[in-house]
Structure 1
Amino acid sequence: MILLHLFLTFFKIGLFTIGGGYAMIPLIQEEVLQNHWLSFTDLIDFIAVSESTPGPFAVNIATYIGAETVGILGAVCATAGVVLPSFLIILLVAKWFLSMQENHFVQGALYGLRPAVVGLIAAAAFSVCTTSFFPEGSFTAVNWIGVCIFALALALLLWKKPHPILLILFSAGLGIVFCTIQERFIA
């Protein structure tokens, strides 16, 4: 029964999310926390890992949640659920692309969806930032290490425009160094 639940949950997420992986984060967060599949901290950690591993974000996170919940069969069901809606929609669009391309209603729907996608991405970014910078859920306790790493990575990105992999490795390295120093000398 859990396998069907995983499949249907990720099918719903894949079906009703327009805008890609970042737009899926609020829906994934709600479903995962509501079903107690992962803790909020684990989910945020895997969002970071999922962004730095090869492959689409939605597939990576669905596979991970399925594997953590049930194992290999869970990974297969969750991944199939998140991929199947896109596959079916692409088949339908490919079949009727030319007739739908100039349709006034289709153009209007796509125009109206753009702000919603931006809002979902902004909500996901806000959620990840608040968890990363304020780990205790209070705006009084600030994760200064996270803020410093973010500021350095952002400055490096704007100044030198490094390859994303180098930026990820740089940030991970700084995190390891700062956390090791903090554990060894401060705690």
Structure 2
Amino acid sequence: MVWQLFVTFLKIGFVAFGGGYAVIPMIQYEVEAHGWLEAERFRQVVAMAGMSPGPISTNAATLVGYDSAGMLGGIAATLGMVLPSLAVIVLLSAVFFRFQGSKWMKSSLYGLRPIIAGMIAYAALHFGFLSGQEAFTWMTVSTLAICGGCLVLLVRYKLHPIAVIAAAGVAGIVIYT
């Protein structure tokens, strides 16, 4: 199982474009396909990974590996997730500096934006609203209100993101307790 965790997260690591939240759907697919975690446990792992310092995808890989196969599983999944990024960054930095003015390079980077945004939106919808609950409850509506309020605070009033995070936390305490 340790080898399977390493190979699976190595594969995910090679296609992990767009940051951690964009990778969560891929991790979820593999976790479900291999039966490593139950759906509710996976949601808990993603929540813990998001609250932990560092990249959410690496944290999620570590926690999935640890939950599935103990310490060695955690190490294998983490190495599998990190090694491709390291190798790709080293290679891409050499290519990027050589072709940074190229029209093809700029176009390919612009072309990746929509899929990355779509995968992040999928993760937000799936984990935030469509996690086996009714579609629109008072909690869904209040969560959307908090999201909208945060967006206004960031875009219109240009508040610091840490202040907006703190305001969202206070809103959550007031609304959900």
Where on the TM-score scale, by shorter chain, does this alignment land: which range? 0.7 to 0.9
CA contact (8 A) 2:146 2:168 kept: no
Query: What secondary structure sits across from 1:38 in the alignment?
Result: coil
CA contact (8 A) 1:44 1:131 kept: no
Counterpart of 2:61? 62
Distance in structure 2 (CA, Å) of the matches to 1:175 and 1:48: 19
User: Alpha carbons of 1:144 and 1:60: their partners in 2 closer, same or farther (altered >3 Å)?
Assistant: same
Counterpart of 1:129? 128
Distance in structure 2 (CA, Å) of the matches to 1:108 and 1:59: 28
Amino acid at match of 2:5: L
Counterpart of 1:47? 46
CA offset digits 1:110-143 (Å, max 9, x no partner): 22111111111111112112335xx34x53xx55
Distance in structure 1 (CA, Å) of the matches to 2:110 and 2:42: 31
Counterpart of 2:17? 18
Structure with higher Rg: it is 1
Aligned residues: 171
TM-score, normalized by length of structure 1?
Answer: 0.77
Distance in structure 2 (CA, Å) of the matches to 1:175 and 1:77: 40
Counterpart of 2:145? 151
Unmatched 5+ residue regions in structure 1?
178-187
Larger deviation, residues 144-153 vs 122-131? 144-153
Structure 1 runs of 4+ with >6 Å offset: none
User: Alpha carbons of 1:87 and 1:61: their partners in 2 closer, same or farther (altered >3 Å)?
Assistant: same
Amino acid at match of 1:42: R
Distance in structure 2 (CA, Å) of the matches to 1:31 and 1:175: 35
User: Alpha carbons of 1:82 and 1:172: their partners in 2 closer, same or farther (altered >3 Å)?
Assistant: farther
Unmatched 5+ residue regions in structure 2?
none
